[in-house]
Chains A and B, each alone.
Chain A
Amino acid sequence: MNVHQPVTVAEPIPALASIAPEQAAVEAMVRFEQIAKTYPAYRDKPGVQALQEIDFAIPRGSITGVIGRSGAGKSSLVRLINGLEKPSAGRVVVDGRDISALSGRKLRLAQRSIGMIFQHFNLLSSRTAAHNVALPLEIAGWSKADIASRVSELLELVGIADKYDRYPSELSGGQKQRVGIARALATRPSVLLSDEATSALDPQTTRSILDLLANINRELGVTIVLITHEMSVVRQLAKEVVVIDAGYIVERGHVADIFTHPKHPITQSFLAEVLGDRVPVSLASRIEPQPIQGGQAVIRVQLRGTSAGDTILARLARELGIDIALLSARVDEIGGRHVGSLTLGIPGDDGRTRQVLSWLSQHQLFAERLGHVA
């Protein structure tokens, strides 16, 4: 073997070598590194610690939901990604670039690869739908011809090509948000930030906008970061969820895991809202603590992703030979698992109810007795 033959394998590829120290960053679209954000005291307002110890990555091509109550720090978090806010400590790396270190012209160039949509759409009332979409392209210095063809393409993509010449005052909320989405995608960004984008919309319109965002993620491969205070939005769209409270990340992981095994009380309270863990008021008002002659015991069964969820009622009725009444139920499928709660009425005496409860616990289902109804 000729020793002088060039060894191609050992030759490092320059581009790869230069990013080698950042290898972990290659997979991550956005990486928060030990972020803290403090707003200094101003006049009579005290300083605010908006974010602390934020350290996590958002995978490339993912849809990540950031959920928290108002004032939890989620707006600050998302504004760190596009450089509208600077961290007080730590750095934010977007697509391998430390955006928190950029300013002026360099920052403005980087911002073109990060789109953002807003709760109140923030369209210019003086521009038509098409001209609103054109704005980021004008700012980026595109030619008139390129802008015209890109704008048509984008309005087509978001399904409002017929609204080209309409002013925002002539559009519905859903249509305005579609214009907002088209505008955010105009410069072909790799990240799309959504700041409560569906909070001002009715449920049906919300659904259609979330479907559109899912399509965009699938077809264009755009990484989507959505901040919201609604768990239903996270459930419908996101794969990853970050729960934030008082400036700290309190819980984070796959949506299905968080929904089935919420640990933090904040997460549990968000889940209660979507899963309807509360017993309907009309039923709750009829529940008595003491057994009622000829009545039913009321028990509530929590479904937390157990596979038994779908057939539980049938099996329970068959195996124990009881006519179970379904008083109320809220079940959703999240990540292929059943999550929700069932409120059941069990006829017969106390022994019957205990039999049911022990059967349920044998099947890894958490159940509790709420009382009795006539």
Chain B
Amino acid sequence: MSRDLINLILEATGESLFMVSVAASLATLLGLPIGIFLATSRKGELFAAPSVNTVLGVIVNATRSTPFIILVVAIIPFTRLIAGTSIGSGAAIVPLTIAATPFIARLVEAAIREVDGGLIETASSFGASPLQIVFKVLIPEALPGLVLALTLAVVSLLGYSAMVGAVGGGGLGDLGIRYGYQRFMPEMMLAVVVVLIALVQTVQTAGDYLARRVNRRLRHR
């Protein structure tokens, strides 16, 4: 493979990593509180607000059930409003974040719900406020689950990021389609797939390792 092509791959990898890391960070910032709220706002729970919970749940489901490629084109005006343009890796971060946020929120909700309700009662029994319960009990206890949830989200985002090539988003997926498919360069397609596999493997291995590190339910030594 020529030097130019290798440079293309490196450049595209950089774009993909940029889009995914920024989108994952933003989606975590948004999805974490939404997920915690979803997990604690049903009737009789810590921040009981059943109607808000229901409405939020519907919005989250609606966003999640929209196919990503449709979401990308549907929100082009919004993307232009936020990013100033609808083309390029920077602009692609907007739909990626919007798609990943409800996904992360649901994963966070599941991880938080895994925490034994007895612990919430225990913390309440010694006078912890709802926010203290979130920060001192729920998040630390759910941490292994949260780490795995974010790992899963990043892996999914790598997949999504391949699709934003459709709106000039750049990145590995875009490269694979333009060179590998449209220019009939199977070696390019192969190279893109290999890089993506390596990235997913790295992220998953790192996530698994981190989740194990923070899991104190397992015996150490």
Contact surface of A with B, Cβ cutoff 8 Å: 42, 82, 84, 105, 107-112, 114-116, 118, 120, 122, 124-127, 135-136, 138-140, 167-170, 183-184, 186-187, 193
Contacts and interface: CB of A to CB of B under 8 A. Distances in A.
Contact of B126 (A42, A127, A136): A136
A183 B126 CA distance: 9
A118 B219 contact: no
B122 A118 contact: yes
Contacts of A127: 140, 216
A115 to B, nearest CB: 7
Contact of A122 (B118, B128, B129, B132): B118
B126 A125 contact: no
B216 A108 contact: no
Contacts of A170: 219-221
Given A111-B127, A126-B141, A135-B136, A169 B122 contact: no
Contacts of A105: 129
B116 A116 contact: no
Contacts of A82: 125
A238 B141 CA distance: 35
**What's the interface size class on B, roughly?**
20 to 34
A137 B157 CA distance: 41
Contact of A136 (B127, B216, B221): B127
B183 interface: no
B137 interface: yes
8 contacts: A110-B127, A111-B126, A125-B216, A139-B126, A140-B127, A167-B216, A169-B217, A186-B126
A125 B215 CA distance: 8
Contact of B136 (A118, A139, A169): A139
A169 B125 contact: no
Contacts of B124: 84, 111
B123 interface: yes
Contacts of A187: 126
Nearest to B143: A126
Nearest to A132: B122
Contacts of B119: 122, 124
A82 B127 CA distance: 9
Interface in B130-145: 132, 136-137, 140-141, 143
Contacts of A169: 216-219
Which of A107, A108, A114, A168 lies at the interface centre, i.e. has the most chain B CB atoms within 10 A of its CB?
Answer: A108
Given A126-B141, A138-B136, A84 B125 contact: yes
B121 interface: yes
B118 A135 contact: no
Contact of A167 (B137, B140, B141, B220): B220
- 10 cross-chain pairs, A with B, having the tightest CB-CB distances, nearest first: A111-B127, A108-B127, A136-B126, A122-B122, A126-B140, A116-B125, A167-B216, A122-B118, A125-B217, A139-B128
B60 interface: no
B166 to A, nearest CB: 43
Nearest to B128: A139
B118 A112 contact: no
Nearest to B116: A122
Contacts of B122: 116, 118, 122
B128 to A, nearest CB: 5
B214 interface: yes
A183 B141 CA distance: 17
